[in-house]
Every structure is written in C-alpha cells, then in structure tokens.
Amino acid sequence: MEVSPLRQVRKEKGAKETKLVLKLKFGVTWKAIKKASSSTMKLNRFHLTCASSMKELSLVRVQAEEAVKPIQQAHTKKKASHVVTKSLLSLLQLPYTASDFIDWGDLMTPTKSPKENISTKWREIHGLHNWDSLLDPLHPWLRREIIKYGEFAQATYDGFDFDPLSEFCGSCRYNRHKLYEELGLTNHGYKVTKYIYAMSHVDVPSWFERSHLGETWSKDSNWMGYVAVSNDEESERSGRRDIVMAWRGTIAPTEWFTDLKAMLEHIGDGKIKVQHGFRSIYKSKSEFTRYNKSSASEQVMEEVNRLIKFYKAKDEEISFTITGHSLGGALALLNAYEAATSIPGLPISVISFGAPRVGNLAFKEKLDEMGVKTLRIVVKQDIVPKFPGFIFNNILHKLNFVTKKFNWVYRHVGSQLKLDMFMSPYLKRESDLIGSHNLEIYLHLLDGFLSERRKFRWNARRDVALVNKTTDMLIEELRIPKFWYQLPYKGLVLNKHGRWVKPSREPEDIPSPLPVASENEMH
C-alpha cells in the first residue's frame, strides 16, 4: 500500500543528512521532506497530519522501524551515524493509538525482542558483580531476562482459580503439562516439572483463596507456584541448565499488609530472624492434609535436588533462579536462604517484583555471605516494598548512623531497580496504590525503562493492552477495556439442554498430588 505524503514539515537546511534519510525508502515522498539544518544536524519531528488513515500511520512506523536497522549497522563506526540514527528515532516516536490494537496480521510488529545468546555473559546478567553498570542505563539483555522471569511469576496469577464459587478455588486451572501452552509461554523454552502447595490455614492475614462451597478440592491448601527447568535449546542459549522456582504472591496490597504483624522469629543459629507469617507459609505442613503432608519448603527442595542430581550426572552447569511478586518475592528469599544453606556452590539468584522486607540485618548479611544474588524491582508508588515496619523503619532510617546495626530492624536484601509509574505515557496519572502493585504494571514499566533520566523507551515491545488485564490503569484514549482478563461468560457454558452451568474440569486438570516429571519428560 502506498502511504500518503507527510506534509506540514518545518523548513530545514543541510543536504547531507536528508540524502541519507532518502535511503530509508519507508513509504513517504521526497516532497514531504525539507532540508535539515546543517548547524544542528538534526531533523525536527515530522507532523503526521495528512496520513489518509490510522492504518497508514501505523504502517509508516512498521516500515520505518525495519528501515532503521541497516542504517544503524552500516554507520556504527562513523560519527555522523549517531546524529542520523538519533534523528530517525526521533522521527519514529509516534504515540500508541487505538488503531494499534486492531489485528492486521503480518503487518504488525512482534511483541518480543529477539533472543540473544547470553551463554558467555549469564553470570553477569544474574548478578555476578551485583549488576554494576547494568541497571542505569538498563542493559537490553538484562531487561529481557528480567521480563522473562516476571512472566513466569505472572503465570501463577493467570493460571490461578480465584473464583470463590468454584469447587477448585485456590488451585491451578491447568495441569503442569499445559500451563505454559495455555498461557502462551512456550517460547521461553522451559518445562514445568512440579507444582508447589502451601497450607492455607496459617497465622497470616487474608492471603489465600478459599471456596465458598462445601465440597472442594482442598480445605487446607493453596497452589503457590511451580518448579520449571530450561530445555536443551534454551540451556545452550543461556549457557547453563536453569532451574526456576516461581512463587505466587498477592495481586492487591489492600488491608493485609497494614495488618501484618511485624514479628520476627529466629531461624537457624545466631541472630538471623525473619517475619513470622512468611515463614509459616513456607514451612507449615500437616499429616492430615492431602497436599501438605510436606511443606512448601520440602516440596521445592526435593524437586530442586532431584533436578540437580539428574543434570549433574550429565556434567551440566546448573543455576537456580527464584522469582516472585509481592508475597511471592518474600517466599523467594526464604527459598534462596534454604537452598544456599543446603546446596553450597550452587549459583542462586532472586528476581523479585514489589516484594516486602523479610528479615533483619543478620538475614541480609548471611545471604550476601553465601553468594545469593538478589535483584529487587520496585515501583516508586507501590507501598508494599515499604512493609513490614513502614512507619517504624522510616523513622529509624533518619537515625541510620545509630540504628544501622540493629538486628531487630527489617532490612531489604540485594540490589534495587526503581521504576516510576509517571514515566509511562500510557498510564493514568493518579497514584493508585492498588494499581501500582500490579505485576503487569511492573513488566510494562520495565519494558519501557532506559534510565532514570531518560523518557519511556519509544520502541518498547511488550503489549500495552496487558496492563489492563486486571486493572484500569491505561489512559482512556487507548480504548482498552478495563479488567478484560476473564473467562468467557464468567466461566459459564451452555449445556446440551440449553442451560447455563458451571462446567466440570477436564480430568487431567483436576488437582492431584501426582508424581513429578519422569526422566524421559526432561529430555
């Protein structure tokens, strides 16, 4: 399709740069381009006022993005290339419009960046040097890896049955063989090997989902996440066999964090203490339950040890990456502490999103001593990372020179990447405490983050519509429905008798403490 000329361009001088622009051939006529200024060597932003339709406008963007690539490659060693590339990128800073959410098939750009081979750099990407010089500006390889683990954590929400009128409330809607396929995550190259369950009757606020029906799959447990492992192709790309534990958290901060008891309890020897409620979830078990005869802690470590034994027998390098959002980020740290204590020498990293504080200074120092690498992603407007001890810790922070060695004060662990909701031009400007805690908001901001001093990345790939899956945070101009992620007809189906009913689950999707993956499955 021939794109309409771009008119109303400001008068500029400088023939050399404009001749380079001509080489792009991305569908606009020369008559629409005036000479650029020789003094500034910079193109002003074009005003796209005469595109014949919104579809044409998006086609310009698609064609121009592809055309920029060879120019960037051909001029990487020339001083002029920076000026030209910067000018072209400025030209392409077109805002998202409602037309971007119309399906045009092959004419649309992909939502994923190309996978780079990180086999020689994976240790640095996983915090070998505590992410020095990788966070600001954010290295594109690191961005992609963080988002990957964030999507693994998001899967614990997308696959979870939140319906209190379902007999399976609190479980995963899919069996482990189908989870990634159903949620569109097979492209990451991992297989789920085991589901993890935690006791729901523990001394914590309302963190668990329970069915309102009498007959349920379990009155004692909730699905809390899963263990996965990279396949051969992904392991070759990433330089090792990566074992992942993804912990489920809590979607909204609501009142439960303010009700959280800031009670620390000892673990192990010495002065190490962690929050009582987090540890209760991680360690609770009962012989009278079906899914928690062993604790979440025991389930995870049994599977991790099994996978390590299997892949060590094949003389492979292995890493353990633990991820989680909110409460899941807290459980990830407890998991990392236990794994580092029981499996010395295993490379362990934690990638957490909106996670609260977990333990005291001794807990932080012990994790550092054992070589656990922790990267905490936080959003400035999110209140959850400030708990437990929101008010108390803020007061003590002002007296840091006195209190920095107190072991009864909560401490964050590891390195921090801080994001700001106001950085994104696609999010509403109100400081919504609930919305700012949403994991999809985190992933959206990550995808657009370049550095603290730069604007939102114009060529961010992640689908903006995902923000409104379970929020109403996108600006109205995009016309994306709020809270759009739900089952068709809210889970009802029309049966053969013409009645709307709740369907029964497929037999293979009914929760069952089945054996873990066999060796044949892991090949």
Give the catalytic positions in this structure: 326, 382, 437
Tokens 């000026």, located at residue:
83
DSSP, collapsed to helix, strand or coil, labels residue 20 as helix
Pairing of strands 190-199, 221-230: antiparallel
| Pairwise CA distance, residues 411 & 376, whole Å | 13
Per 3-state DSSP, the chain is made up of helix, strand and coil in percentages (nearest 5) of 35, 15, 50
| Pairwise CA distance, residues 425 & 421, whole Å | 9
**In the beta sheet, which residues pair with residue 244?**
228, 321
DSSP 64: H
**C-alpha distances out from residue 376 to 258, 357, 442, Å:** 21, 11, 11
**Exposed (0-12), middle (13-18) or buried (19+): which is 259, by Cβ within 10 Å?**
exposed
Give the CA-trace dihedral at 454, 433, 483, 247, to 10 degrees.
90
DSSP 75: T
Tokens 């604790």, located at residue:
295
| Pairwise CA distance, residues 146 & 138, whole Å | 11
118: how many CB neighbours lie within 10 A of its CB?
18
CB 355 within 8 A of CB 385: yes
DSSP, collapsed to helix, strand or coil, labels residue 221 as strand
